[in-house]
A and B are shown apart, each in its own frame.
Chain A
Amino acid sequence: MHRLFSWSRPVIYLFVTVVMLIPLIKPLGLPVPVGKDARKYFDAIEAVKPGDIVWMDSHISLSAAVECYPQMIATAVHAYRRGGKIVLLAMSPDGQPFAERMMNEVLAQGAKYGEDIIYLGFVPGGEPGLAALLSDVHKAVPNDYKGTPLASLPLGARIRSGKDVAVAVPVTSDASAPDYWTRQVKPYPNIALLMASQASLWPKIQPYTATGQIKAALNGSRGAAEYELLINRKGQATASMDATSVAYLAFIFLILIGNLAFYTRPKTGSGKEGSK
């Protein structure tokens, strides 16, 4: 019995790979119900008025890009459609290529650089960097990513401090981001703080959404897929939802198998738990 439930690591990987690959090759069309978190996030961006400044931080690590990039591009496209003006920055070095990719996708939708969107480039410093930006943008980052003075760009001239920002959206894979964003945004009640993150950060974000410090948040690929459906723009997240759902089922099955293997394991003579 114990041997039946004790699978080696390669077998588990092969099982999970095959299970995920089938719906990728032949999509099952499983429904993706939209949860209240994604809807709240959608409503927050939907409330953006023409001309409102939407501040976006690409704080994505390479490994989290598959979850976070669909959130980021969907948010930017939605904000642009609502007439929002996007001020984009990357507070992590890894976030830069994704910020540039996102900017180019928004520009391809018809946005004008300098008027509808500007990119400040990599802003180092973490929490102190964010605090400096919020108190005086032009002092902290005098030029955009190409070295053009911010004051010479129409949108750059408009944004002076956190007081000019309507919505801030850190798209992040940094575990400390929920803490320091809530800390530094607190003195600016005009900013509606949203957050889009990889799924593993969700438990860290929830205490802040419960108190309203973070108005709404997107939870990993699932949140991205729900949001893509709400803005009617099916993308990478929606395409992988079948495989994700099936993978969760596979993991539930594996957890059950693992527990069965554990409880049916042979007891060692000393009464101590066996290592295998």
Chain B
Amino acid sequence: MSTNPTIWATALLTLAVYTFLIKDNRIFRLVEKLFVGIGAGYYAAMGVRTIIQVGLTPLSKGNLVPLLPLLLGLAVYARYVKPIAWLAKIPVALIVAIGAALTLRGTVQAQFIDQIVGTLVPWNSIDNLIIVLGTASTVVYFYFKARQPGPFDTALAWSGKFARLVMMVAFGIGYTGVLGANIPRTIGQLQLIFGKWIHLIPGF
């Protein structure tokens, strides 16, 4: 058995979470609240540290540049004082404007043009054919689904069936990704409990 109190605490808290499998209970709820509380505290501390490092420390050394962002940050809390509540709109508007401008700058090239260029491939392999037909049929499926009956109905129906197939494969891959993310987490906890805590797994 480990003599490290951190390992003990982590192992016992992990087991406490697993007690939920039997049924919802007080121990599980206690650990749940502990996790939320510690997480909130950690993020709050990080926020305060960042304000001190990036804002207050340079300001105390005579650098006035952080003054404007600090004032804008304070303005967010103006919403709690009714007569000056309108001040809170200024930092929010700036955040939205800067965020949108930065996103738009790269979106057209990186997420639109480059992605279309990526589908312009020679039809000389199964992979390339799937990329071209899969992309085209999926776009057609979403954009021409609600059209009026017309001469291309049969072609569109077949294209729609192929698009659904492609999407189902994509969803399957997504599900595998989620599984792939959860398995190592479980293994990590098993290594902690059976390796670092009770030394059943060799090498810990």
Which A residues form the contact surface with B (CB < 8 A)? 9-10, 13, 16-17, 20-21, 24-25, 63-67, 93, 96, 121-122, 124, 127-128, 131, 142-143, 147, 179-180, 182-184, 186-187, 198-203, 207, 210-213, 219-222, 239-240, 243-244, 247-248, 251
Contacts and interface: CB of A to CB of B under 8 A. Distances in A.
B153 interface: no
Interface of B: 18, 21-22, 42-43, 46, 49-50, 53-54, 57-58, 98-99, 102-103, 105-107, 109-111, 114-115, 117-118, 131, 170, 173-174, 176-181, 183-188, 190-191, 194-195, 200-203
Contacts of A239: 203
A66 B190 contact: no
Contacts, number: 136
14 contacts: A17-B186, A66-B184, A93-B46, A142-B58, A182-B106, A199-B181, A207-B118, A211-B118, A219-B180, A222-B180, A240-B191, A244-B183, A247-B183, A251-B179
A22 to B, nearest CB: 11
Contacts of B202: 25
Contacts of A21: 190, 194
Given A202-B180, A251-B183, 4 more contacts: A24-B190, A24-B191, A66-B184, A247-B187
Nearest to B107: A183
A199 B185 CA distance: 11
B111 A179 contact: yes
Contacts of A20: 183, 186-187, 190
B111 A248 contact: no
A67 B187 CA distance: 10
Main DSSP-derived SS at the A contact region: helix
A239 B61 CA distance: 50
B24 to A, nearest CB: 12
A247 B103 contact: no
Contacts of A240: 184, 187-188, 191
B194 A25 contact: yes
Query: Which 9 pairs, one residue from A and one from B, show the smallest C-beta to C-beta distance?
Result: A183-B106, A199-B180, A211-B118, A66-B188, A200-B181, A93-B46, A221-B184, A200-B177, A182-B110
Given A20-B190, A93-B46, A240-B187, A203 B170 contact: yes
A202 B178 CA distance: 10
A24 B53 CA distance: 44
Contacts of A66: 184-185, 187-188
Contacts of B174: 200, 203
A200 B176 CA distance: 8
A240 B21 CA distance: 24
B109 A186 contact: yes
A269 to B, nearest CB: 31
